[in-house]
Chains A and B, each alone.
Chain A
Amino acid sequence: MRRLARVLALLLFTQIVIAQEVDDGDRLLNRPADRTYDIILESGYLKVGMYQDFPPYSYEVDGEPMGVDVALGRRIAQEMGVEFKVHWIVPDENLGDDLRNNVWKGHYLAKRRLADVMLRVPYDKTYAYMQDSTGEYINEQVVLFGPYQQETWQIAFDPARLDSVETVAVFQYNRIGVEIDTLPDFYLTSALAGRMREQVRHFKSVEDAFRAMRSGEVSAVMGMRSEIDHELAKAENSKFRAASNGFPGIGKQVWDVGLAIKHTHRQLGYALEAIVDKLVKSGEMNELMAGLNLRYSVPGYYRNFLDEEAIARAEGSR
Chain B
Amino acid sequence: MRTNKFGIRIAASALAMAVSYGAYAVTDEDIINDHKTPEDIVSYGMGTQGQRYSTLEDLNTRNVRYLQPAWAFSFGSEKMRGQESQPLVKDGVMYVTASYSRIYAVDARTGEEIWQYDARLPDGIMPCCDVVNRGAAIYGDKVIFGTLDAKLVALNKDTGKPVWIKKVADYQAGYAITAAPIIVRGKVITGVSGGEFGIVGKVEAYDANTGDLVWTRPTVEGHMGYVYKDGKKIENGISGGKAGVTWPGEMWKNGGAATWLGGTYDADTDSLFFGTGNPAPWNSHLRPGDNLFSSSRLAIDPDDGSIKWHFQTTPNDGWDYDGVNELISFDYKEKGKTVKAAATADRNGFFYVLNRENGDFIRGFPFVDKITWAKGLDPETGRPIYADGGRPGNPADMDGKKGETVVAQPAFLGGKNWMPMAYSQQTGLFYVPSNEWSMDIWNEPVSYKKGAAFLGAGFTIKPANEDYIGVLRAMDPKTGKEVWRYENTAPLWGGVMATAGGLVFTGTPEGHLKAFDAKTGEELYRFNTGSGVVGTPVTWTMDGEQYVSVASGWGGAVPLWGGEVAKVVKDFNQGGMVWTFKLPKDRLASN
Contact = CB atoms under 8 A, between A and B. Distances in A.
Answer yes or no: do A and B interact.
yes
Interface of A: 30, 51, 54, 57, 88, 90-95, 98, 101, 107-110, 120-122, 124, 126-127, 130, 132-134, 151, 180-183, 185-187, 189-191, 194, 197-202, 204, 224, 249-252, 255, 257
Contacts, number: 135
A93 B254 contact: no
A90 B174 CA distance: 11
Contacts of B285: 190, 194
A88 B285 CA distance: 34
B131 A109 contact: yes
Contacts of B197: 180-181
A181 B453 CA distance: 12
B249 A200 contact: yes
Contacts of B125: 109
Contacts of B241: none
A121 B451 contact: yes
B340 to A, nearest CB: 41
A51 B448 CA distance: 14
Contact of A130 (B81, B440, B446, B460): B446
Given A132-B562, A251-B453, A202 B460 contact: no
Given A30-B78, A109-B125, A133-B563, A93 B449 contact: yes
Nearest to A119: B451
B248 A197 contact: yes
7 contacts: A109-B121, A127-B447, A180-B197, A181-B449, A189-B248, A190-B285, A249-B396
A183 B452 contact: yes
A200 B250 CA distance: 7
B288 interface: yes
B456 interface: yes
B402 to A, nearest CB: 10
Given A133-B460, A181-B198, 7 more contacts: A95-B449, A127-B447, A132-B460, A183-B453, A189-B248, A199-B249, A251-B398
A90 B126 contact: yes
Nearest to B281: A181
Contacts of B451: 51, 54, 57, 120-122, 151, 224, 257
A190 B286 contact: yes
B124 A110 contact: yes
A198 B249 contact: yes
Interface in B542-588: 562-564
Contacts of A132: 460, 562-563
B81 to A, nearest CB: 8
Contacts of A204: 198
Contact of A94 (B397, B399, B448): B448
Contact of B283 (A51, A110, A190): A190
Contacts of B251: 189, 197, 202
Given A133-B440, A255-B453, A109 B446 contact: no
Contacts of A181: 196-198, 281, 449
Contacts of A252: 400, 446, 453
Interface string B361-398: 00000000000000000000000000000000011111
A257 B445 CA distance: 18
Contacts of A197: 248-249, 251, 286
Interface in B199-244: none
A94 B198 contact: no
B524 interface: no
Contact of A90 (B81, B124, B396, B460): B124
Interface of B: 78, 81, 121, 123-127, 131, 195-198, 248-251, 253-254, 281, 283, 285-288, 394-400, 440, 445-456, 458, 460, 562-564
A57 B125 CA distance: 22
A51 B126 CA distance: 14
Contacts of B562: 132, 134
Contacts of B397: 190
A252 B455 CA distance: 10
A91 B449 contact: yes
Contacts of A91: 449-450
B233 to A, nearest CB: 23
A126 to B, nearest CB: 5
A93 B449 CA distance: 7
Contacts of A51: 450-451
B-side binding surface: helix, strand, loop or mixed? Answer: loop
Contacts of B450: 51, 54, 91, 98, 182
A197 B284 CA distance: 13
Contacts of B563: 132-134
Contacts of B195: 93
A194 B288 contact: yes
A151 B131 CA distance: 36
B198 to A, nearest CB: 5
A256 to B, nearest CB: 11
Contacts of A198: 248-249
A250 B452 CA distance: 13
A183 B460 contact: no
Nearest to B440: A133
A212 to B, nearest CB: 12
A78 B50 CA distance: 62
What are the 10 closest A-B residue pairs judged by CB atoms, nearest first?
A252-B453, A190-B396, A120-B451, A181-B197, A133-B460, A95-B448, A91-B450, A189-B286, A198-B249, A122-B448
A186 B449 CA distance: 13
A208 to B, nearest CB: 12
B247 to A, nearest CB: 10
Contacts of A255: 448, 452-453
A90 B121 CA distance: 16
Contacts of A95: 447-449
A199 B249 CA distance: 6
Contacts of A93: 195-196, 449
Contacts of A224: 451-452
Given A180-B197, A190-B286, A197-B249, A92 B453 contact: no
Nearest to A189: B286
Given A183-B452, A190-B283, A127 B249 contact: no
B221 to A, nearest CB: 16
A108 to B, nearest CB: 8
Given A151-B452, A255-B453, A194 B445 contact: no
B283 A186 contact: yes
Contacts of B283: 186, 190
A186 B253 contact: no
A181 B256 CA distance: 12
Contacts of A190: 283, 285-286, 394, 396-397
Nearest to A126: B446
A262 B285 CA distance: 37
Contacts of A186: 281, 283, 286, 395-396, 454-455
B249 A182 contact: no
Nearest to A204: B198
Centre residue among A54, A94, A249 by max chain B CB count within 10 A: A94
A109 B127 CA distance: 9
Nearest to B451: A120
A252 B444 CA distance: 12
